[in-house]
Amino acid sequence: MSGREARLWRRTEGGGVLCLLCGRKCLLREGERGFCEARIHEGGGLKTLNYGAAEAVNLDPVEKKPLHHFLPGSLTFSVGAPGCTFDCLGCQNHSLSRPGNTYSGPLRETPPEALIRAARESGARSLSFTYSEPTAFFEYAEDAGRRGKEAGLPGIWVTNGFFSREALDRLDYVSAMNIDLKGFTEGFYREVTGGSLGRVRENIKEVKARGIWLEVTTLLIPTVNDNESDLKALAAFLAEVSPDIPWHVSRFIPLHRQSHLHQTPESSLERAREIGREAGLRHVYLGNVGGRGYSDTLCPGCGAPLIKRSGYSVSLNRLSGSGECPECGERIMGVW
Ligand code: SF4
């Protein structure tokens, strides 16, 4: 097994290496892997095992990320590589995100240049790092993302938000993010994700402050994270960071180690939407649930429908290039 030199780590006095990439800060002895299964202490340094491992590649509507206020109706070239800094009980992509300790690298490496060539030929307007956790394939995403930006493809991260401040400092190629805010207590994060809430909260504030376009997703899991007081606290937090952060509340589908639970009732999703609106959030979308205009963009000023969506496609877009409502002139925040 031989990986490529990783970024963001340092040697420690006792002969270990400390990975500085995510909030976990794994301290690894020779031969040990990090929690993400994608980094290994090898030959006295930290190596990444998944460089070039573009195991999931698709051309997706940007609405699928989900991003509803970033180039709506456009396609995004989407790439995922093995590994994750969380281990969520209900993971929808666990064969990709938890490759296991026998994973020793890509069978066929796809260099960043090849990825960008394919992205440009595809007609995509952006480049998304998604499906698993981009932090876990940081080096590959960085090299592809910077080349993509030079080629006119802004970068998108779809992330659990657990990356370190040092990692965030290097995301100069990222124009938009969707961060999962999976719950709002440390207990929930510890038990259901294997991560922690504090780092995610800090990153939501910091990403917004740095001017990266930000949307947030919460998967509503019946009996696990759907109680009113937690949802009210979560929505109030987002509204305090900015009432213009679009909040996507998604229906849970029983999967993986949460297959014994039920899917989210529509009434719970609607209640969450009310809670978000009461907290002052201007745009609350319901995901994984069809019909009823749940994913339409409405003007927060006059209520006029501005963008109508059917599934992941946009059927109507009445916003002007600068994002103004044609009825009342209200400015809608986003990248249009
Ligand atoms: S990126 Fe992986 S190795 Fe590094 S701190 Fe996070 S889980 Fe540990």
Give the domain extent around 18: 4-48
Compute, in angstroms, the gap from residue 91 CA to the centroid of ligand 1: 18
Nearest-atom index, ligand 1, CA of 162:
6
Residues 158 and 64 in one domain: yes
Residues 132 and 168 in one domain: yes
Residues 26 and 170 in one domain: no
Residues 193 and 315 in one domain: no
How many domains does the structure of the chain reveal? 3
Contact between 17 and 34 (Cβ < 8 Å): no
Other C-beta atoms closer than 10 Å to the C-beta of 15 total 10
Q: What is the pLDDT of residues 5-55, one digit of tens each?
A: 999 999 999 999 999 999 999 999 999 999 999 999 999 999 999 999 999
Q: What is the pLDDT of residues 189-200, one digit of tens each?
A: 999 998 999 999
Residues 215 and 325 in one domain: no
d(CA 128, CA 156): 4
Q: What is the mean pLDDT of residues 81-92?
A: 93
Residues 165 and 234 in one domain: yes
Counting ligand 1 atoms within 8 A of each CB, the residue from 19, 49, 97, 168 with the most, and so the one to mutate, is 19
**CATH code of 135's domain:** 3.20.20.70
Q: What is the pLDDT of residues 313-326, one digit of tens each?
A: 999 999 978 899 99
Residues 127 and 239 in one domain: yes
- C-alpha 246 chain-centroid distance: 13
pTM (2 d.p.): 0.97
Residues 318 and 237 in one domain: no
Nearest-atom index, ligand 1, CA of 28:
3
Residues 81 and 229 in one domain: yes
Residues 105 and 131 in one domain: yes
- Cis, peptide link before residue 66, omega less than 30° from 0: yes
Residues 240 and 301 in one domain: no
